[in-house]
Amino acid sequence: MSAPTGVMLETLTKDIRLEWRSKDAINSMLFFALLVVVVFSFSFDPNAEESRQIAGGLIWVAFLFASVVALNQTWARELRNQVLDAYRVSPAPANALFLAKAVGNFIFVVILEALMVPLFVVFYKLRVLGPAWQLIPVAALGTWAIVVNGTFFAAMSVRTRSREIMLPLLLFPITIPALISTVEATTVILVGDPATSAKFWIVLLATYDVMFTLACLALFETVLHAE
């Protein structure tokens, strides 16, 4: 039964190829990510010790805002010529489309993060005092949490008025536990206090990711086929 994974991979490669060709979306988003970091740096100008305490929060809020801009254009290409109708009429499983879009968004947002992190490190003179390797699962799980729900709510907002505002409106309340977890985990790792551990937060993030990925997969078909 390679059909669902086949469709998913095919859709993903198509999206990456198209994004690579036009590059306009990713260019403008990279620039937006840069702007966000700069604006934050002007607004919060702490010394090195304080910055470790608040950098976790700042970085993840910046990621969240940059992600929203990326997520809002998830379905833009599909809407242009009603391509979604072609998808709905085909036997391809809805979840394959969803996963392809979610993974595509994940890659996209990770690229944005990869740009923003060095800038934050430079502007805030950050040094990681705790186990730095733990930042990788935190970043991966945290990004997936935003992206999986974001892709789903982007599909829902597409069918509403004011769709650009609808996405963050639906997304932010739902991602609060993930945001708390990632911010806390990042802060714990940055500060490096041996009495604290990011493990609880990573486990909570993983639970969040599993629960909501399953919920999205269960409900996406219904949302796709709703008139």
Partner 1 sequence: MRKAFPILGILTAIFLSYALYLALEVAPREQTMGDVQRIFYYHVPSAWTAFLLFFINFIASIQYLVRRSRSSDKVANWTLITVAVVTCIASVVIAMVPDLKKALPQGTYPSSIATTGIIIAGMYFLIRKYFSVEAVDALAVTTAEVGVVFCTVVLVTGPLWARPVWGIWWTWDVRLTSTLVLWLIYVSYLILRRFSSSGQTPVMAAALAVFGALDVPLVYFSIWIFRTQHPQPVVGGGGSIDPRMLHVLLMNWLAFLCFAFLVCWSRYRLERIKREVEETQALEALLEPRSVPR
Partner 2 sequence: MSESQAAPTDPVITVTNLVKQFGRFAALRGVSASFNAHRLYGILGDNGAGKTTMLRMLAGLVAPTRGEISILGTKSPRDVCRELGYMAHPSLLYDEMSGMENLHYFSRLYGLENDARCAEIITAVGLDPMLSRPVGQYSQGMRQRMSLARALLNDPKILLLDEPFSNVDIRSAREMVKLLAHMRDGGKTIFVVTHQASLLEGAADEFIWMDGGLIINRTPDLKFMETA
Q: Distance between CA atoms of 169 and 189, rounded to whole angstroms?
A: 30
Could you say which of 141, 186, 201, 202 contacts partner 1 (CB under 8 A)? Answer: 201
Of the two residues 117 and 174, which places its CB atom closer to partner 1 in the complex? 174
User: CA neighbours within 13 Å on the CB side: how many for 157?
Assistant: 23
Query: Which one of 149, 151, 186, 213 is in contact with partner 1 (CB under 8 A)?
Result: 149
CB 134 within 8 A of CB 189: yes
For partner 2, the closer CB: 17 or 173: 17
User: Distances in Å between the alpha carbon of 5 and those of 25, 95, 98, 147?
Assistant: 26, 10, 11, 19
Residue 192 touching partner 1 (CB under 8 A): no
- Tell whether residue 136 is a contact of partner 1 (CB under 8 A): no
Between the CA of residue 173 and those of 162, 168, 178, what are the distances in Å? 18, 9, 10
Region of 6-14, 53-61, 96-104, 156-164 interacting with partner 1 (CB under 8 A): 156-164
Min dist CB 127 to partner 1, Å, is 22
Q: How many CB atoms lie within 10 A of CB 207?
A: 13
Binding-site ranges for partner 1 (CB under 8 A): 149, 156, 159-162, 166, 169-170, 172-174, 176-177, 180-181, 184, 196, 200-201, 204, 207-208, 211-212, 215, 219, 222-223, 226-227
